[in-house]
Chains A and B, each alone.
Chain A
């Protein structure tokens, strides 16, 4: 169960892991221009190293009962050991009783999976920060660079330490932003700026899918019953939620919720981790400084997708379709990216495609339920890929900024340390036995083999699929070895092919020390993830990784992926063979420099020419996207601009009002032109208007009051001035006849016989139930008739 974290300055200890890099970012970005270079890089490197130290403390060193390792080692609680920090309530809508209760808190959780990621991020991050102080020493925007780098580190830490999906999304977006800022760091060059933009836009597409998946997940779990009001991972892992994932959804009828949610989230992961179809930004991202490529595009940001998939493994495992999608795309990407890497001539481009390919490996593992292998490969890949990039940076530094391998060669004489470390990395990535890459790749391949032969697969999983994936990935591994060693031979072996190569020099200590450390890690880190061998008793630390990750990643969702010992040894042998064979092929072709054989094979008219051109042009995928997506989008934007913005808003509405005001003012100006007669016109019109409005009166009425002599009735013609020429006819006694004057004859019907006064004084007894008054204009017309019942106030009897 979650623990109350030890506090430091009011925050749990591991929260400082996130906070320190963010503080460093703030200092460097806001105050950077007034700080000296010394201060800037001390602050920047210092915060990350401090974060690493604190992370180590929080995770490993026992003191009291607040370390994970202590708990882990002593199994003080059965449930997953973890530390949760709830900082504040971020978004809250509604009350717990509402079905739409949304309660997202700013929560962070340090558990075994996130601790692995934290160590990688802060550890490799500190090395890269140190490296940057040497590499970017000539940069004039020094503080901005380190500020962005710290910001990135902080965002990535938020991502991995988040306890719920919205907070993870904060980190997700943050790393996307920093990626954009850092890729386009030298934005004065428009190509670099475009590369940054491309990265951001493609990322955004993935983010959109991620958001949709998140919304759908929330909807599914929270309408009707509030299972996960804040999308907390603990809630998402619960049994009740699991039940929901396996329910059929209404969208596609027979498919489960988990399918559509999983696929949407995976598309988000594709955007972040550069899988098909959203990988196009990664090769262009090499426009950024090399340490950035090392940190972001090798070790950390691109692994965010893998982390997310593993974190939500239970969700993916609930849907076979989603798993197959993940595995298939991962494998396809691994293969195709390897295909691209053969023909590249820029060092960093080769490494970029290699990254894409290795990420494909990780997703292939995740897609088959082999979460531990995916994370293991993530870690080892972080070490050797970061090392490769830093080594490339070192080479470029020595080559005065150029990364073109056609101009390199024979650098082993000039840059021995770089060459040695680079060699180790290449061995690791090729899967040379006993290095870290070997073990991690072997875990992946072993899992696939087990799946293909004796794993139990969920329904809908074809029997042959595991084998198919195994073969494909093996081919990709062969390709990996070949192109990586092609790179090595062309850069370090053979003869120098240009002036610059002859004058290359080794890099300063700030650059080769990280290389050395990473080389050590790349070589020996594999020891914690050895395969399970039932026959041999291996020390406990060789299974540390899988045991460590077990509480955070549900074992129950793993497909049974354990091979027998024999099978394991065979597979290891096959993998070693493949790796060594790849090295051999590369040595055969490129051992002494650019290969004449390859040149002839790929020349015009020969067999490999077409594939070579296709590889060099990346299968024209970028051009395809440009044609199908970017251009129509641009056309629509331009159309909207012209029609809506220019015409409707500017011309019609804004211009229209101005025009209207002009017209009105022209009319109003007529009134005052200085001529007296014009003003008299106004007077006359006003007089006529007064006459008009004064004549529209209210309805006629009878007013009455009681006076000592009787009741006084008063006629109110109510028609204003027209009331002057009217005559009145009364019917007070309600007999239906006009009242006649007392001295008029009974049959006299002339006008003089009727009572025609506006006021009348009658006795109370003469009043009938109703009094009717006719008001007739003398000039003709109907006039009005008013009927009223005379009512007196009860007590006083007068109005």
Chain B
């Protein structure tokens, strides 16, 4: 418990440091105030608010902080637990929190996929393997090569601070799109008219149809995936096939070898 609190405090401190670099504002002819990022969820100009944007900014902030905290706590769980199943549980909690965060970013499809694939399949696979080799290690923190790890830790801290510093000040190129609710995706095509189709046709006898999908919805993502990115999609399917075959090939027991499950 103490370690968790300590880690959290360190994290908060780092974030504060990264944010609070530099002191006085630059000398300019006129006074300058801090740039404030416009809160999310405020009604924009172009599209009407969707049901994700209910509530004021403070509620969203609370939502964010809660699940961000859960994500961080869960990941700290993962890296500090001796018991493997406990680590797996932490991992699942993290995945869940991240899924919620995905929801906040209008990535609803991916949030569900995250839960299904990660927490549902990958973690189950981990549990199976843990079941096979249930051998807790002697010590969670290996002291071998500590100087190297300490050096790496320092490097990592430095990276973290610099990365956060960079990322924090990212300016969206188009303020309108960034600040408002994301625009809907418009997909249009032409199709054959159905029987007794009341829709108008164009000069080629096809009906122009246009549909609007929400940003990040299944239809939108599917449209993108099977439209513009069909080649990576197909490549990924081959990759999965290879992974399956490879996994079986590697983990298959040898002819004169029968393995004993989970005896320690």
Give me 9 A-to-B residue pairs in the complex whose CB atoms sit less than 8 angstroms apart, sorted by A's number: A681-B149, A684-B152, A688-B155, A721-B162, A729-B28, A736-B29, A737-B29, A777-B169, A780-B20
A680 to chain B, nearest CB (A): 8
Which residues of chain A come closer than 8 Å to B21, judged between CB atoms? Answer: 779-781
B18-32 at interface with A (beta carbon < 8 Å): 18-32
List of 4 A-B pairs having minimum Cβ-Cβ separation, nearest first: A725-B169, A780-B22, A749-B30, A688-B155
User: CB < 8 Å: which of B144, B158, B166 contacts A724?
Assistant: B166
Size class of the A contact interface (CB-based, 8 Å): 35 or more
Name the residue on A nearest B170 (C-beta). Answer: A724
Determine whether A204 belongs to the interface, using a CB cutoff of 8 Å to chain B.
no
A684 to B159, Cβ gap below 8 A? yes
A688 to B26, Cβ gap below 8 A? no
Q: A726 CA to B169 CA in the complex, in Å?
A: 7
Question: Chain A, 766-781, contact with B by CB distance < 8 Å: what is the 0/1 string?
Answer: 0000000010111111
Determine whether A727 belongs to the interface, using a CB cutoff of 8 Å to chain B.
yes
Which residues of chain B come closer than 8 Å to A781, judged between CB atoms? Answer: 21-22, 26
B175 to chain A, nearest CB (A): 10
A780 to B25, Cβ gap below 8 A? yes
Which residues of chain A come closer than 8 Å to B170, judged between CB atoms? Answer: 724-725
B156 to A688, Cβ gap below 8 A? yes
A782 to chain B, nearest CB (A): 6
Which residues of chain A come closer than 8 Å to B168, judged between CB atoms? Answer: 725, 778-779
Name the residue on A nearest B30 (C-beta). Answer: A749
Q: A176 CA to B213 CA in the complex, in Å?
A: 112
Which residues of chain B come closer than 8 Å to A678, judged between CB atoms? Answer: 145, 148
User: CB < 8 Å: which of A673, A695, A751 contacts B145?
Assistant: A673
Q: A58 CA to B170 CA in the complex, in Å?
A: 107
Give B residues with C-beta under 8 Å from A: 18-33, 35, 144-145, 148-149, 151-152, 155-156, 158-159, 162-163, 165-166, 168-171
Give A residues with C-beta under 8 Å from B: 670, 673, 675, 677-678, 680-681, 684-685, 687-689, 691-692, 695, 721-722, 724-727, 729, 736-738, 749-751, 754, 774, 776-783
B139 to chain A, nearest CB (A): 14
A531 to chain B, nearest CB (A): 102
Name the residue on B nearest A685 (C-beta). Answer: B155
A751 to B169, Cβ gap below 8 A? no
Q: A750 CA to B18 CA in the complex, in Å?
A: 24
CB-CB under 8 A for A725 and B166, given A737-B29, A779-B21, A782-B26: yes
| A677, A681, A724, A782: most-surrounded residue (chain B CB, <10 A) | A681
B198 to chain A, nearest CB (A): 47
B179 to chain A, nearest CB (A): 13
A-B contact count (CB 8 A): 94
A729 to chain B, nearest CB (A): 6
B169 to A684, Cβ gap below 8 A? no
A748 to chain B, nearest CB (A): 9
CB-CB under 8 A for A687 and B155, given A681-B149, A737-B29: yes
Q: A220 CA to B60 CA in the complex, in Å?
A: 104
Which residues of chain B come closer than 8 Å to A777, judged between CB atoms? Answer: 22, 169
| A677, A750, A776, A779: most-surrounded residue (chain B CB, <10 A) | A779
A750 to B25, Cβ gap below 8 A? no
User: CB < 8 Å: which of A685, A687, A749, A778 contacts B169?
Assistant: A778
B148 to A670, Cβ gap below 8 A? yes
Q: A725 CA to B167 CA in the complex, in Å?
A: 8
Name the residue on B nearest A675 (C-beta). Answer: B145
A725 to B159, Cβ gap below 8 A? no
CB-CB under 8 A for A685 and B151, given A725-B165, A725-B171, A779-B22: yes
Other than A685-B152, A781-B21, give 11 A-B pairs with Cβ distance below 8 A: A678-B148, A684-B156, A688-B158, A692-B158, A749-B30, A774-B28, A779-B18, A780-B21, A780-B23, A780-B25, A782-B27
User: CB < 8 Å: which of B18, B145, B151 contacts A677?
Assistant: B145
Q: A695 CA to B165 CA in the complex, in Å?
A: 12
B159 to A688, Cβ gap below 8 A? yes
Q: A724 CA to B32 CA in the complex, in Å?
A: 19
A778 to B35, Cβ gap below 8 A? yes
| A692, A738, A750, A780: most-surrounded residue (chain B CB, <10 A) | A780
CB-CB under 8 A for A751 and B162, given A725-B171, A726-B169, A777-B169: no
A681 to B148, Cβ gap below 8 A? yes
Which residues of chain A come closer than 8 Å to B24, judged between CB atoms? Answer: 780
User: CB < 8 Å: which of A687, A689, A722, A776 contacts B166?
Assistant: A722
Q: A778 CA to B151 CA in the complex, in Å?
A: 30
B166 to chain A, nearest CB (A): 5
Q: A777 CA to B23 CA in the complex, in Å?
A: 11
Q: A726 CA to B165 CA in the complex, in Å?
A: 11
Q: A727 CA to B22 CA in the complex, in Å?
A: 15
Which residues of chain B come closer than 8 Å to A688, judged between CB atoms? Answer: 155-156, 158-159
User: CB < 8 Å: which of B19, B20, B26, B145 contacts A783?
Assistant: B26
Q: A750 CA to B28 CA in the complex, in Å?
A: 11
Q: A244 CA to B162 CA in the complex, in Å?
A: 84
Q: A685 CA to B157 CA in the complex, in Å?
A: 11
Which residues of chain B come closer than 8 Å to A736, judged between CB atoms? Answer: 29
Which residues of chain B come closer than 8 Å to A677, judged between CB atoms? Answer: 145, 149
Q: A695 CA to B26 CA in the complex, in Å?
A: 21
A738 to B28, Cβ gap below 8 A? yes
Q: A736 CA to B30 CA in the complex, in Å?
A: 11
Which residues of chain A come closer than 8 Å to B23, judged between CB atoms? Answer: 780
Name the residue on B nearest A680 (C-beta). Answer: B152
CB-CB under 8 A for A691 and B33, given A678-B148, A777-B22: no
A724 to B151, Cβ gap below 8 A? no
Which residues of chain A come closer than 8 Å to B25, judged between CB atoms? Answer: 780
Name the residue on B nearest A687 (C-beta). Answer: B159
CB-CB under 8 A for A750 and B33, given A681-B152, A777-B22, A778-B169: yes
A751 to B166, Cβ gap below 8 A? no
B26 to A779, Cβ gap below 8 A? no
B109 to chain A, nearest CB (A): 29
B140 to chain A, nearest CB (A): 14
B178 to chain A, nearest CB (A): 15
